[in-house]
Amino acid sequence: MTTTAQERVAYFNGEIVPESKALVSFRDRSFKYGDGAFDMTRTFGHKIFKLEEHIARFANTLRYFQLDPGMTQKEMIDKSMEVLEANLPLIDETEDYWVGQRVSRGTDVVGGDMWEHDGATVVIECTPLPLKARAPLFKDGIDVIVPSVRRTPPESLSPRAKSHNYLNLIMGDLEAKAYNPAAWAILLDMQGNFAEGIGSNFFTVKDGVIHTPRSQFVLGGISRETVMDLAAGLDIPVVEDDIDPYDAYVADEVFLTSTSLCICGVRTVNGKPIADGSTPGPITKALMDAYVDFVDFDWVSQYTSRLEA
């Protein structure tokens, strides 16, 4: 982030304030129990990506969790834009933001407490994308490790809702990084099929067909849906089905999608090279090019320009 004396701002319970003033009580239910939800998009060349779709998905999450943010979808969109516009002067033209909305059920009131705010805690914030840290992924590809931790099944809590309680995914990620600090964990579901990782969806390519886990078992990422739409435009078939480790090991290509990465090729799964180990494969590359054209911004070069010589 560009060094300046100015501080980023965030929307916090009705006001736009400096980030250092957006302080959540230790009695907030999201801090105590993970009783909250969030959504996240990014900017491309400072232009926000599919904000309306993200907020619509967030509204479904809030409805599922019975969380009332006390504002309409339009108000959340407008405030997200206001926060973004206020923060854009803090980054240069080569940088971009995550833009996130966060809602918790609010503060647990105990005897004698006098809290200034009643109801849900609502935060809208910007975070600079970790472009330099993730740049090597676009040169070398991602190493995926499948941990022993399984994804929470939909019978317990639907993964289609984006909860603040990420411990299930975090435990899997910690296990994977104990083997390879640079690895990305992709958890299996309770039937032994690929589900998802922290903020990432999983795809394989075999014999010209793209495969991805069924929507019931994963968060329906906006980037995931975008890639599926782009594939349709390229006449590449996409199938939602069960993908077990064997399917990944013998795939012609594997890639991940996420808000920040958009699309990035995978070079190994559990240490086993995908095909010849080179990445991205031809279909992954075609989708990356189509994504760049779709957003009218070369986010691949945005990452690779930060590779150290």
The pTM score is 0.93
By residue count, the chain amounts to 309
Bond before 69 cis per omega within 30 degrees: no
Kindly report, residue by residue over 50-107, the tens digit of the pLDDT.
Answer: 999 999 999 999 999 999 999 999 999 999 999 999 999 999 999 999 999 999 999 9
Residue 1, pLDDT score? 36
Please compute the mean of the pLDDT values over residues 266-292 and round it to a whole number: 95
Domains assigned to the chain: 9-129 (3.30.470.10), 134-304 (3.20.10.10)
Residue 56, pLDDT score? 96
